Structure 1
Amino acid sequence: MLVALIIACEVGFWVLLAAGLALRYLARMPRLGAAVLLCEPLLELVLFVFTTLDLKNGGRPGWTHGLAALYIGYTVGYGHYTVKWLDGHAAHRWAGGPKPPGTKYGRARAVHEWKLWLRTLVAAAVSLGLLEAAIRYVGAGVDVDGIRQWQFIVLRIVGIQALVAATHSIWPRKAPAGTTDRDAEDPAGLLKR
């Protein structure tokens, strides 16, 4: 049952996102579109309440509870970023807005990757906190190995993201030959701040 709810929340996230962007840019109803986009956190609240109730009613802590914690953590760490990124692309594609800047090369890309690592760190902190709360909630005498495994998975994700960011810092990708535009080195204007 919990797996079905996690899937429903994930599908609901993308449906609300698509509906909100369509209302904002295709239907020219920006306020209604923003209201739909603001409903996104309600999905995580529903998942959190349902997961807590499942544990309270004697549900055995397992991989589904770990997945729910990871999903909630991801949404806290990356949800706003994802919506903002897609909103910028939708504005460009459907409303004639400016093309969203990208960070492909050099130091700007390394800075971008470290910012993503910070988001991953936030997501991990939320996930680890929820997982530890679940372990303490069910108390002693209950097998919590499934939840402990998710804690190690979360830590591995943080480590992998740090390796990705470090490789972009140590071996920055070079702009293509013949590119003289400064925007190729710093398209998002990150170095000017």
Structure 2
Amino acid sequence: MKIPNYTPSARHAELAAKRDDLGRKLSETTTAQLALAQNDEPEFSTTVDDAASRRIAELLGQPPAPTPPNKRERLAAMAQEIRDLRSAIELLDRQIEVERNKDEAAYRAGIAPAYRDRQKAVVAAMRQVHAANLDLHELVNAVDAQGVSISSFGSLPLIGSSRDPNGPMARFFRDAIELGVIPRKEMPAELDYR
């Protein structure tokens, strides 16, 4: 059977690519944070002589060099980046879900006619099964009327009685009506509630 392939929209693909990039960055940052936390660098580095660096920078006519962040500050910055990345990923996941739902709805709308045609074909086949079941039960009733038991032949419990409004065939046709595959008037009379 040939049906069109499901293809995500460009927006969905763009969001998924962005999410993958953020996921990689989250993994890298988490790994770097763990490595920094496990190294032997002192938590607080010795402070650079700010007064001396300002004097030298002033003589050179340049701004003073910034003090590099210590280990604790870098760990805190990484922790904040990890929280921000996780929040961004959660937001992207929700946006991706919305886009996927839109894409799937559009795809379903495109294949709905073919799906309905196949449902109708199944209902038509089940009508034939029901008709054959009616014929079978007429034979059973005719033989029973003669006083002969044919229980040794066995039965077909899957389709149930041809006149049981609670049986599997009746439920099948009621479901087909509920789904809109067939109109109510097409319910076999023998299976309808009286």
Q: TM-score range by the shorter chain?
A: under 0.3
Which one has a larger percent helix, Structure 1 or Structure 2? 1
- TM-score scaled by structure 1? 0.28
Larger RCO (alpha carbons 8 Å, 6+ apart): 1
- TM-score scaled by structure 2? 0.28
